[in-house]
Amino acid sequence: MLFAVVLAAAPGPAALFASAAPPAPSIGLALGSGGAAGLAHIAMLEVFDELELRPQAIAGTSIGAVMGALYAGGLDAAEIGAVFREFGGSRLDLLSGLLEADGGSPVTGLLETDLINGGLVDIDGFLEFLGGKIEARTFADLEIELSVVATDYWTGETRVISEGELFPALAASMAVPALFAPVERGGALLVDGGTSNPLPFDLLQGRHDIVVAVDVTGSRRAGDDEASPGMLEMLFKTFEIMQQSLIALRLAGDPPDIYIKVDTSGIRLLDFNRIDQVLEQAAPAAQELRRRLEEHVQRAARD
């Protein structure tokens, strides 16, 4: 009788196999700044969805912080794509016409300016639009741990925000100097995180089995534009050069396990109405990410 009880309690082959299976590797995902080029992050997140891999933590700067918040807030890559297609076709998408205005096209009556607070465009409408897409209002409401990067204007130091209200943190992270107003938080005046840490993979290192960093800073080639760049275009591209220098320094020191550089040539900082072109250009980088993720996951399983 005792023998029968022992047999009944013994685990079957499937249970033994399941118990022997190694745990999935912990993945940290860094999403970099880059304005509209950051729409390419959608293609990278789609790879995670298709492979059924879920990052345990996301660190994001500027548009990377926005994408990270939407993903951590429960949207999948396809849903985030739908959000930005809606944005790119709405009256809220005032940004896409701003560079055209810099070249002489009139946009009178279209832009909500915020000059009194130190910015050209009021970002509140965009944040309200995003707020209607997810239920999360604080970092504690998110499904994935999120770190948002901003920069202290007075000290130049990186400020990492991971608790409290979510949308003011996003506003601070994407407060591109001269475009959006800086954000006051805890006695500090915060501006775009891209001025100090445009690709914050360092926040994830040492904490996860695999650290993935997606770089969407653009490129410049003579002849990309039919005419010489206007004042705003020159300002934003110079800002981009600075960010690429900061990223290069961090990569030379302690690079992430997987570094993906996306082709965002021809995409300007405010081209949010060109999502299809951005995603098409991002396709090769997405394939590279898929291949390298599969390799690292398989290696982790063997180890």
pLDDT at 175: 92
Q: Taking all residues of the chain, what is their mean pLDDT, rounded to a whole number?
A: 83
**Residue carrying structure tokens 């590279």:** 288
- Sorting pLDDT into bands at 50, 70 and 90, what band is 133? very high
Average pLDDT value for residue range 139-157: 97
Cα 148 to Cα 163: distance, rounded to the nearest angstrom: 9
Please say whether the beta carbons of 37 and 219 come within 8 A. Answer: no
Give Cα 113 distance to the centre of its chain. 25
Answer whether 36's CB lies under 8 Å from 8's CB: no
pLDDT category at 4 given cuts 50, 70, 90 is: very low
Least confident of 22-31, 65-74, 249-258: 22-31
Say which residue, 100 or 74, is predicted with more confidence. Answer: 74
Q: What is the pLDDT of residue 230?
A: 66
Between 19-33, 52-66, 244-258, 279-293, the lowest mean confidence (pLDDT) is in 19-33
Give CA 79 to chain center in angstroms. 15
Helix or strand holding residue 285 (H, E): helix 275-302
Question: With 70 as the cut, is the pLDDT of residue 258 above it?
Answer: yes
pLDDT at residue 39 above 60? yes
**What pLDDT, on a 0 to 100 scale, did the predictor assign at position 112?**
46
The mean pLDDT of 263-290, rounded to a whole number, is 92
To which H or E segment does residue 260 belong? strand 258-261
- pLDDT at position 61 is 98
8 A C-beta contact, residue 145 and residue 56: yes
Would you say the C-alpha torsion 18, 21, 26, 31 has a positive or negative sign? negative
Paired with 127 in beta bridges are: none
Which residue, among 96, 93, 102, has the nearest Cα to 126 in the 3D structure? 93
Q: Is the pLDDT of residue 131 over 80?
A: yes
The two tokens of residue 125 are 């409408």
Determine the residue type at 267.
I
Tokens of 19: 């118990």
Determine the pLDDT at residue 177: 81
Residues 37 and 107: their CA atoms lie apart, in Å, by 23
CB atoms within 10 A of CB 139: 19
Mean pLDDT of 117-130: 73
Q: How much of the chain, in percent, has pLDDT values that exceed 90?
A: 60
187-231 pLDDT, tens digit per residue, is 899 999 999 999 999 999 999 999 999 999 977 666 555 556 666
- Structural tokens at position 190: 């915060």
User: Is pLDDT of 140 > 90?
Assistant: yes
Task: Output Rg (C-alpha) for the chain, integer angstroms.
Answer: 22
Q: What is the pTM of this model?
A: 0.84
Which band of pLDDT confidence, cut at 50, 70 and 90, is reported for residue 121?
Answer: low
Residue with tokens 């760049």: 229
